[in-house]
Structure 1
């Protein structure tokens, strides 16, 4: 057992095609929930949400997706299909019954594709700053340049929080929690080239067909802070058009892309209200 924020969670490991997948199992005896972090993130980003959902009566698991955190760092396959197959394997191996899939950013995209490919698997879908998107040929260069600019190793946690938070301490704390300590400082627990390759398909195509194939109730949580989120009005309007009556959307004022870190209490209230 490992201590986290004063509460306990157990590490559970699932191996699929020789790829190690590490999960934080928070326990609980109610309906199942699986939490999926975004690109370059880690399962610990969800600690506040996981604890609150467990205490509200859910059984909660958070996955370090392939290439991230305590999972396999350099998997050969980082296709969207591989991420989806990992979710299916975790659900099966950990005995999750029709879990609610909650994902932020790329994790939300993984949840969406899982719901499309396996309509009988989730009971509901929560997309936090995630959607079908449009092809973005420049996204990989932008992400690669961002990682290259990181002053790693960070000499201290405070330095990491200040840099990664961009003025928002809660965001910086969440990202800093994902770093690993070595003799010369704090380093990311991922390799930048793996992250860039994980976006191969997002750079070249859209996923509207998959979105239209989703059948379970869906909640979309969007950031509405000064810098805004990544889901624009046009994309959200098209999501509604393709699935009228099945999508519930909420914007969170004062929060940007990392809604789950900036306003975890608001996200918890939205999720439990939606599921209830």
Structure 2
């Protein structure tokens, strides 16, 4: 196993209301002079901060390729293991996995790690967190990037589908190769991304989440949509949609309504990709984000 000291990122812990949140802090580009500690003021004109939020049953390590590229392009980058996921609190002490709890966690990380008006990038469930954070805290963010995420609600039947899928995982996986093959569904890049989040134990590789917690995390999304919150977003927004592959979840009708309600929305779809765009095409996603920030935000 790789030691923390050999990794290109450092772990940063944030505690909020008794819940431990683990972050991968990739820092700023070498030589930028802006390797600031938590709580330090921003250096005017320094690197733009980026906070990355993974999807349901995911982990901060899914963003490793994208995070490295963004840091090397001049950004200060942090990826959060959201509550119930990865190295963060697996069973939140308060039992709260509401959308509001996820948003409060993101705000706490921004505050405690001294992120100055960051760009919030979220995929799937992380995109929902990002959207609701932007709506609830105008002025907190510089920009918003939604990867396979939107304000539409989720069919209640999706919870049972996800529960069945998670419970069907043949854990423990005996080898990393077996995990990659199963989780990737034929796409090695996706399988590798999911497998990076597994915990190595004596008897094999196990998920770092509880299926029941994952299912409850969708409760709010099955009860209602978030179109009012979408209309409240004031920062620039980029939406990246998968088209093909394992299948994107944002349909044409939902995107058209997103654009109608937020005319300044910048969006793009990537043919041949699915829901895990960030794993399938990290280089292309990186370029889309950089072009968006340089063209619409700076």
* Structure 1 stretches lacking a partner, 5+ long: none
Does residue 45 in structure 1 map to residue 81 in structure 2?
no
- 1:102 maps to 121
Q: Displacement, 1:120? A: 1.1
- 1:15 maps to 15
1:20-69 CA-partner distances (Å, limit 9, x unpaired): 00000000041100000000000000001111111111000000000000
Task: Give the 4+ runs in structure 1 shifted more than 6 A.
Answer: none
- 2:236 maps to 217
1:112 corresponds to which of 123, 131, 156: 131
- 2:173 maps to 154
- 2:284 maps to 266
Q: Displacement, 1:3? A: 6.0
Q: Displacement, 1:149? A: 1.1
- 2:91 maps to 74
Q: Displacement, 1:256? A: 0.3
Structural mapping, 1:199-214, within 5 Å: 199-214=218-233
- 2:269 maps to 251
Q: Displacement, 1:227? A: 3.6
Structural mapping, 1:125-164, within 5 Å: 125-164=144-183
Q: Displacement, 1:272? A: 0.2
How many residue pairs get matched? 273
1:42-98 CA-partner distances (Å, limit 9, x unpaired): 000000111111111100000000000000000110000000000000000000000
Q: Displacement, 1:124? A: 0.2
TM-score (norm 1): 0.97
Q: Displacement, 1:9? A: 0.6
Does residue 175 in structure 1 map to residue 177 in structure 2?
no
